[in-house]
Amino acid sequence: MLDVEKLQLTLNGKPIINDFSLHVDKGEIHGILGENGTGKTTVANLIMGTNNYKPTAGKMTFEGQDISGLSVSQRAQRGITLAWQEPARVEGLTVRDYLALSSHNGQADQLERFLLMVGLEPAQYMDRDIDATLSGGERKRIELASVLAMRPKLAILDEPDSGIDIVALPRLLNGIIEMNRQGASVLLITHSERVAAIAHRVSILCAGTIIRTGPAAESSQWFKNNCLTCPHINEPEH
């Protein structure tokens, strides 16, 4: 489904993403585990085409089609979407409007279901603006609900657990699993082993390079043993 080959990004002369290769299968939840500063969010932006990031080398294909030259909208129209680590606030846009736009004008009861899937009560949230009156955790869950509403082929979720309290986390993870059951592939970017545990496979990112890919439990254990105690963050040769 998604094939990334030898992707590179250099910003201000500094290599950020190096020789990055990744394959996400149809129907797969693929985790990317990495410490802070290893390039996780940059990878999300490169695949989605956001933040004006353009790879300096490498190739990205989605369902066999080269997507490197496509706009964000064109990638989304082909079924790729992104949930940001820190979702934007949009003054004057209600949760209802946001979900309706994401679902391309889905029915009201369907929109409510997407909110329920992320543990939010529709009556309390549907008519609220996506602005500073919502907490970070609420915005994260609304962001995920909008991804659910879009019914993407591939959802890139950047740190979906950040700002989410321990009580709400299981609901959020269930929402991701449900989305996957409904047919979406998921690229799950995180630094949490608990979140990565729902993935089928997990790749470890260091210095913008995938240094290992394997089953979730095995990769998480490797990450715990090697990366969490590593004094050489972003020095993959160590």
Partner 1 sequence: MVGYTVEKEYQGMIDAYEKAGGDKRVLETKDVAKLVVHENRVLANDPIKGLKIDTEETKSGVKVNFTVAKGTKVPHPVHLCFGLLPKEGLQEIIMKVDAQDNSQVSVIAHCIFPNAVKVIHKMDADIEIGANARFDYKETHYHGEDGGIEVIPKAKVRVNKGGVWQSTFALSQGMVGKLDYDFEVVCLEKAVAELTVKAYGKGNDDIKIVEKIYLNGTGARGLAKSRLVLGDKARAEVRGETYGNAPYARGHVDCMELVNGTEAVAVAIPIVSVTNDKAKVTHEAAIGSIDRKQVETLMARGLDEDRAVDVIVKGILR
Residues near partner 1 (CB under 8 A) are 48, 50-51, 71-73, 75-77, 81-82, 84, 87-93, 97, 101-102, 104, 129, 146, 150
Minimum distance, C-beta of residue 232 to partner 1, in the bound complex (Å) = 33
Minimum distance, C-beta of residue 221 to partner 1, in the bound complex (Å) = 33
What's the CA gap between 209 and 191, in Å, rounded? Answer: 15
- Residue 87's φ and ψ, nearest 5 degrees, are -60, 150
What's the CA gap between 29 and 37, in Å, rounded? Answer: 23
Minimum distance, C-beta of residue 11 to partner 1, in the bound complex (Å) = 17
What secondary structure does DSSP assign to 35-67, as a single string? -TTSSHHHHHHHHHT-TT---SEEEEEETTEE-
Minimum distance, C-beta of residue 102 to partner 1, in the bound complex (Å) = 4
Nearer residue to partner 1 within complex by CB, 85 or 180:
85
What's the CA gap between 129 and 230, in Å, rounded? Answer: 43
Nearer residue to partner 1 within complex by CB, 115 or 150:
150
> Which amino acid does the sequence have at 21?
S
Nearer residue to partner 1 within complex by CB, 3 or 129:
129
Nearer residue to partner 1 within complex by CB, 24 or 149:
149
Minimum distance, C-beta of residue 128 to partner 1, in the bound complex (Å) = 13
Minimum distance, C-beta of residue 31 to partner 1, in the bound complex (Å) = 20
Nearer residue to partner 1 within complex by CB, 42 or 146:
146
- Residue 223's φ and ψ, nearest 5 degrees, are -60, -45
Element (DSSP H or E) covering residue 115: helix 108-117
Nearer residue to partner 1 within complex by CB, 9 or 48:
48
Exposed, middle or buried by CB within 10 Å (0-12, 13-18, 19+), for 14?
Answer: exposed
Minimum distance, C-beta of residue 106 to partner 1, in the bound complex (Å) = 12
CB-based contacts of 87, cutoff 8 Å, min separation 6: 130, 139, 140, 142, 143
CA distances from 27 to 30, 181, 203, 210 (A): 9, 8, 17, 21
What's the CA gap between 97 and 124, in Å, rounded? Answer: 15
Nearer residue to partner 1 within complex by CB, 33 or 134:
134
